[in-house]
Every structure is written in C-alpha cells, then in structure tokens.
Amino acid sequence: MPFRAFCYHSLTCRDAAFRYSHYIVAGAIRSLHCRPEQDRTEFTQMDCSSLSIYSFMEFATDLSCNEISRTKSNKKDILESFWLFRFRERAYEMFMHGYHSYMTYAFPADELMPLSCRGRVRGVTPSRGDVDDSLGNFSLTLIDTLDTLVVVGALDEFDRAVKLVVDTIRLDSDLIVSVFETNIRVLGGLLSGHLLAELVRAKDPTRLQWYNDRQLLKMAEDIGNRLLPAFNTSSGLPYSRINLRYGMLDHLKRQKDTCTACGGTMLLEMAALSRLTGNGVYEEKARKAMDFLWAQRHRTSDLMGTVLNVHSGDWVRRESGIGAGIDSYYEYCLKAYILLGDKSFLERFDRHYEAVMRYVNKGPLFVDVHMHRPTVATRSFMDALLAFWPGLQVLKGDVRRAVEMHEMLFQVVRKHKFLPEAFTHDFQVHWGEHPIRPEFIESTYFLFRATKDPHYLEVAKQVCVELLCMNCGRVSVKNSIFLFLRQMDSFVLSETFKYLFMIFAEPSDLPFDPDNYVLTTEAHFLPLSIGAQSEDIPRRLFIRPDDVSDSSDTTYEYANPFGADQEPTEADEAMRIRERTQNILEKLFDIQRQQEPHSGQCFKPLVLQPQ
C-alpha cells in the first residue's frame, strides 16, 4: 500500500459544487493532500475491506491533517460513513454481478447455474427431485428480484426488468409447482414489484410511463387464481403442489401431507392481493388455513408439529422446533398482526413464542422436541433456517434474547466460514451445504437496526468477504471443504444481497423508508397501509425510539408489539450479552478446538438462567 489516503468527497458526492467546499483527507504520507481537482483514482488505494470498522475508526481518529478543518462534519462520523460506503458498494457490485450473470446466461430460465454459465430449465436440465418444484418456467429469478433492483437504486434496470416480465413471462406452464414457493417467490415478487413500480413512477413521472394499467398486479391475480384450487380440502389447508395449467390433478390430490410452514405461509401475500384487487377470496382462504393450523396445536404445550394431513389435521411428524417445516408459520403469525392489525394473530404468536422459549430454547441453543412430550429431544442438530428467529425476536421486542441466539449462530459462522445447512449442538457440521441462505444476515440486519452496534456491521462484512464469486453469479458451497453446488437460488438475489445492502445503507441511500413496510419471508415489501384502520394515522414498524425524527410532527400507529415505552438494547448492553453468551458456550465446549470426530449423541445443554 503506497500511501493511506482517500478523498471523501470524490467517493460520495456527485455534486461538483458541493465537492469543492466539502472534502476531507483521512490520512497523508509525504505531504500528499486531498485537493478538489484530483481524480477519484488517486484516493482509492486504501483497501478498507481489510479493515474492521473498529480498526478503521481507530486509524481515522488518530489522524491529524490540516485539511480536516475544511469540513463542517464530525470526522469520525464521516469516516464511518466511508467505511459503510465501501461495503455498501461491495454488496451492490456482488448483487449486480449475480443479476447481470442471470440475465446474460440464464434468462428466461428460472435459475442460473453459475459453474456452467447456463440456465436451469425445468424438464431440460437434470432433475433435482422436489427441489425443482420451485421452478415453473416463469423466469423465477427475475420476478423474485424486481424489488431488490429498487432497493439498490438500479431504477433504469428495474424499468427494463418490469417490462420484460410483463411482455415475456407466462404463468400457465404444464408443470407441477410448490404452492408454498410459488406464493412467496412469484406472487410476493409480483405484488412487491407492482407496489414499487407505482412508487417509482409517482416519485419520478419520467420513469415507467408505460406502466399505467397495473400490469404486474394483474399477473399477481393470475397466479393467485392458479393457486386457489389447492385450498379445496376439507380443512382449508392447501395441498402442497399444483399444476399451473390444469390445477389439482387426481394424482396430486392423493398427496395428502403438507408441512406446517407450507400451509401457514400464505396469508401476507394473499391478504395483500385481496386488498389490492378488492377480491376477498384470497385472504379468506389463507385465513382459514391459519385458523385450522392454530386449532391443531398441542393444547398443553402450545407447540406445533412439522407435517400434518391436509384433510384430517392429524400430525404425521410431531417434531417441534423453529427450523425447516415450521419456521415461517411462526413468522407469519407475528407479521400477519403487523401487516393487518388483527390482534388475534399476535395472541397466537405470543402463545407459541412462550412455548418455544420454554421448551425448545436451551440456553443459547435450540433443540427440537416432541410436541406432545416437550421434555423429550428429537434430534441432535439445528438447521440453518432457524437463523431467522433473532430477527423475529427483534420485531417482537425481545432484543436481549435475540442477541443471545445470534451470537450462538455467529460462533458457528466463525468456525466454518458460513452457516452449514445443519450443525450439531457442539457446532460440528451435520449437513455441509450452504446455498447462500439469507436468514442469518436477515437477523443481523434487524439487530443492527435495534442496537446500532457496529458488531453487526462486522458480521455483515464477514458474510460479504466469504461469499464466492464465479465468472457468472455467486456459487453455493456444498460442504466444509468447499465443493461447489451448481445453483444460484433466486433468494440469493431476492433476499441475501438485499439485506446485505440494507445493513450498510444509510437512510438517504434507500428510495423509500423500509419501516413503512413489512418484509415477507422472501423479503418482499408489503406496505403497512394495507392494514391501516384509519387513513389519518400512518402505520410504521417500530425498531428504536430514535428512528422517528424529533422534528417530525407525524403521529404513527406502531404496527408491531415493540411498544413506544420499551427501551432499546444499546450497543454496550448488546456487547455484554454477547460476552455472557460466549462464556456459556465455552462451558459447554471449546469452540476454538480442532474439529474432532463427533459421536452423534445429543448431550444435555446447559440452561441459561435469566439475570
């Protein structure tokens, strides 16, 4: 590194007039100074990606330079903004690399195969079994990614992408698809794309002038109608699969089992579709499914099983946890309350939450148990999908326990460089794949929002650094010795990079306030105004009291149970909770030891006693 200097103005401000009066030198050697006329390239030789935010700020705080007085801003704040800028740009570039690779090598296929730079086409590329049920030859990745283009500010590309979806995509392929995946990815993507298209057009009438007939919403209505026959069961729970063209074929009706999450993750998208179109049938069907699931809980433990019969409601698999098969049912209990304002869903979530934290939570660990005998553990490993739970805890307002669980997950990430698909209670790899799932970074985003703790920026930075880039797209990891999967799931662009960008973004970097929306399980934006009881009082997520500007005269109806009187968990308190969690984990096992052969036996975890 020949010198340590950068010109702040040339990296963050497009306005030349502003540039000439506001610039800063972060450091200079041999009298090298930042001058307004110098080019950006002269000041980008400092590799901030190799610095943590802590070491970067320490370096910046110790600097002295005569030019510093030229800026009216606080030096430390400016340098922190620069660090955020570098990683925000990195997240943006990684997203755009994956997106352009998909558009170049895969579109109109559903997914990109990054090792071969080809598209994955249902019925053409070799089948992967049930995994392919998310593919419907409807350009899944493009639909799923529309709103991410708006988040990162790629509005020209968003205009082009929306037109491609409207002009080229058909939703009537003779293919059997997952009702659950089609709902959260396709219906959710179309709804969010439509809402943001109208937002972009309203803010800048020069954009999307052709989008004047709610075209994406009509496509959403089309796919919603194609999913409706799946709900024709005696219980109201949807069948797990449906043919896009012919509906519920006879052999599909014979598949009578579905997972709890599959039946319980429909309401947000279906309710939004009903309220945007005025046709209440979609919300009615999804509510009936949620009501039936609630009635099937174990009445003593309030826990749910994993798989049940869509007609009788009899439990087929009685394992209860917060991971695969159940996860997003709990998520939609809380988020249905947040979006729709129906307190019955909050009451259900609170009952489930208390049960999970009583029976499934064992200190910083989470252990699947038998729903009817919750003192009996059913397996000795955790799966990666449960990493969404800390983010949900933040929305509930239980930040302390969110910090505890996230720290446990971060120790797994530190040990293996990524979060394996499944790992044992002593952090050994149980299933060594990593398809770049978003749940861990999703929780990191919400915890940073709740605590403003720079630790969570460090966590996000590590996720950025560890992601692997191929000639086209981002590659998933098959196991802990870095064999590669030939896939880039649509959620990589729809969720993972969206959360990465948002965690490094400052409010002015986003084209809208995310607190005016609820994020679905696929990270699609649905406005809280959908559930507003009064047009006079806007609804808003409440993460921290200082998220609401002191200068604002607006009164908000807070949409989540993190009430206005609750004190936020500050960065120093979050640090103490993390340290305490680390101490407890060290009592269970030495997380820094060399990996040893695992016995496969489940040990009794140490219970974290409340302070």
pLDDT digits (tens, 9 = 90+) for 496-526: 999 999 999 988 899 999 999 999 999 999 9
pLDDT of residue 83: 79
Rounded to the nearest 5°, which phi and psi values hold at 423? Answer: -145, 150
pLDDT of residue 477: 58
Contact predicate 24/85, CB 8 Å:
no
DSSP lists the bridge partners of residue 118 as 113
- Pick 301 or 115 by higher pLDDT: 301
Instruction: Render pLDDT for 269-279 as a digit per residue (tens, 0 to 9).
Output: 999 999 999 99
Instruction: Render pLDDT for 177-208 as a digit per residue (tens, 0 to 9).
Output: 999 999 999 999 999 999 999 999 999 999 99
pLDDT of residue 532: 75
Q: What is the mean pLDDT of residues 432-458?
A: 94
- Pick 249 or 476 by higher pLDDT: 249
pTM value is 0.85
Q: Is the peptide bond before 610 cis (omega within 30 degrees of 0)?
A: no
Contact predicate 427/415, CB 8 Å:
yes
pLDDT of residue 561: 80
HSE-CB of 230 using CA atoms within 13 angstroms: 31
Neighbours of 213 (CB within 10 A): 9
Cα 474 to Cα 115: distance, rounded to the nearest angstrom: 9
DSSP 253-266: HT--EEEHHHHHS-
Residues identified as active-site: 181, 327, 421, 439
pLDDT of residue 74: 54
Q: Which of 23-37, 66-80, 425-439 has the lowest mean pLDDT?
A: 23-37
Q: What is the mean pLDDT of residues 249-270?
A: 97
pLDDT of residue 569: 66
**CA dist list (Å): 204 to 101, 147, 415, 457, 507:** 28, 17, 47, 32, 19
Q: Which of 171-175, 238-242, 578-582 has the lowest mean pLDDT?
A: 578-582
Compute the chain's Rg from CA coordinates: 24
Nearest alpha-carbon partner for 262 in 214, 203, 325: 325
Q: For residue 305, is pLDDT > 80?
A: yes
Mean pLDDT, the chain, rounded, equals: 83
| Torsional sign, CA 259, 265, 267, 269 | negative
Q: What is the mean pLDDT of residues 385-412?
A: 96
| Torsional sign, CA 179, 520, 271, 561 | positive
Instruction: Render pLDDT for 21-46 as a digit per residue (tens, 0 to 9).
Output: 333 333 332 233 333 433 333 333 33
Q: In what helix (H) or strand (E) does residue 227 lie, and over which residues does it extend?
A: helix 215-227
Cα 319 to Cα 92: distance, rounded to the nearest angstrom: 40
Nearest alpha-carbon partner for 415 in 594, 164, 223, 599: 594
pLDDT of residue 17: 32
Rounded to the nearest 5°, which phi and psi values hold at 445? Answer: -60, -50
Cα 258 to Cα 307: distance, rounded to the nearest angstrom: 6
Q: For residue 419, is pLDDT > 60?
A: yes
- Tell me the domains of the chain and their CATH numbers: 8-78 (no CATH), 106-588 (1.50.10.10)
521 known ligand binder: yes
Neighbours of 506 (CB within 10 A): 10
- Pick 441 or 124 by higher pLDDT: 441
